[in-house]
Amino acid sequence: MAVAALSFSVILTGCAAKKEAAGDKLNVMTSFYPVYDFTLKVGGDKVNVKNMVPAGTEPHEWEPGTRDIASLEESNVFIYSGAGMEHWTEDVLKSLSNKSLIVVEASSGITLKEGHEEEGDHKEEENEHDHGEFDPHVWLDPKNAKKEMENIKDGLVKADPENKDYYEANYKTYAEKFDQLDQSFQETLSPLSNKSIVVSHEAYGYLCSAYGLTQVGIEGLTPDSEPDPARMAEVIDYVRDNQVKTIFFEELVSPKVAEAIAKETGAKTEVLSPVEGLSDKELKAGEDYFSVMEKNLAALKEALE
């Protein structure tokens, strides 16, 4: 499925989003956690941000309900990641009567990786919500995440040009943090001779490309399919042949398959987050994209040393 070409556009032919009175905040809807976090950081106290996918919910198969559609009708801006991650976006946007809604596809301008399955195709054919043509997990490369935040900033400026300097200043602050995070990944991972990781699903293509790693996925681009016995045997052989000591799983998906492979091979299991959603506990503790990615880096370093 082709990526929807909706970046920075006004649905139908509407005008820029209006605020009822000077000083009112923009009402912004975001699709799921990464773009929600980036929008909060850029928008600061000038925006009210509501995230559609609830905390602790795996977003791949999630779909908006009636209340979500109603909230979009009342919003000034809608921000989604794109590249096929939110399979429902095109249909939902076509259904809206809100002609002044500004829509931002945060992944616009990012070079996308093809979303084909690796050899030994193990994705269930009946999975109706595949990601289509591209791998949508762009935000796991900090450089791509920086671009997503820039696109979000541009969308907020379009909706609220009076506060352009405010949004630009916030973006500049976090752009430097993305650069620092990228540097940390480069400096930590580049000296390591072991570059292969075994993961629960193939969400880490952009991260691996950025830092010279290779991912071996137990499952494909979506985490809900069960690998067949042949795929399990392939992964077990790979772990043994390459002396892999850590099998990575995700906090929002059952770890049972990763645990079974670890038990069979003597490896251990650890979390490697795709940063697709944080739990209420993590949010209350102040966790965000940067803190979770720093934990990912520490986990990778330990597994690959």
pLDDT over 70, % of the chain: 85
Maximum distance among all Cα pairs of the chain, rounded to whole angstroms: 65
Q: How confident is the model at residue 16 (pLDDT cuts 50, 70, 90)?
A: very low
Q: Is the pLDDT of residue 211 over 80?
A: yes
Q: Which two tokens stand for residue 63?
A: 């779909």
- Contact (Cβ atoms closer than 8 angstroms) between residue 171 and residue 135: no
Please report, rounded to a whole number, the percentage of residues in the chain having pLDDT higher than 90: 74
Sign of the alpha-carbon dihedral angle for 145, 258, 285, 61: positive
CB 221 within 8 A of CB 202: yes
Which has the higher per-residue pLDDT, 115 or 7? Answer: 115
**Contact present, 2 and 133 (Cβ < 8 Å):** yes
Cα separation, 293 vs 174, in Å, equals 14
Q: Is the pLDDT of residue 120 over 80?
A: no
Give pLDDT, residue 9.
Answer: 39
Q: Which tokens is 261 given? A: 């492979």
Give the three-state DSSP class for 297.
helix
The string of DSSP letters for 196-218 reads EEEEEES--HHHHHHHT-EEEEE
Length of the chain: 305
Of the two residues 60 and 177, the one the predictor is more confident about is 177
Residue 18 has pLDDT above 60, yes or no: no
Q: Judge whether residue 161 has pLDDT over 70.
A: yes
**pLDDT greater than 90 at residue 213:** yes
Per-residue pLDDT reduced to its tens digit, 215-274? 999 877 666 567 888 889 999 999 999 889 999 999 888 889 899 999 999 999 999 999
Supply 73's token pair: 């009708």
**What order do you get walking across the sheet with 196-201 strand by strand?**
214-219, 196-201, 246-249, 268-271
Task: Compute the average pLDDT of residues 26-40.
Answer: 98
Q: Find residue 28's DSSP bridge partners.
A: 49, 77
Closest CA to 93 of 30, 157, 27, 6: 6
Q: Which residues pair with 201 in a beta bridge?
A: 219
109-116: average pLDDT: 87
pLDDT of residue 61: 85
pLDDT for the residue 222: 63
pLDDT, position 225: 61
Residue 172 identity (one-letter amino acid) = K
Q: What span, in angstroms and rounded, lies between the C-alpha atoms of 283 and 281?
A: 5
Q: What is the mean pLDDT of the chain?
A: 87
Rounded to two decimals, what is the model's pTM? 0.87
Q: Is the model's pLDDT at 126 over the cut of 90?
A: no
Q: Cα(111)–Cα(99) distance, rounded to whole angstroms?
A: 30
The DSSP result for 58-91, as a single string, is --TT----HHHHHHHHT-SEEEE--TTSSTTHHH
Q: Is the pLDDT of residue 40 over 80?
A: yes
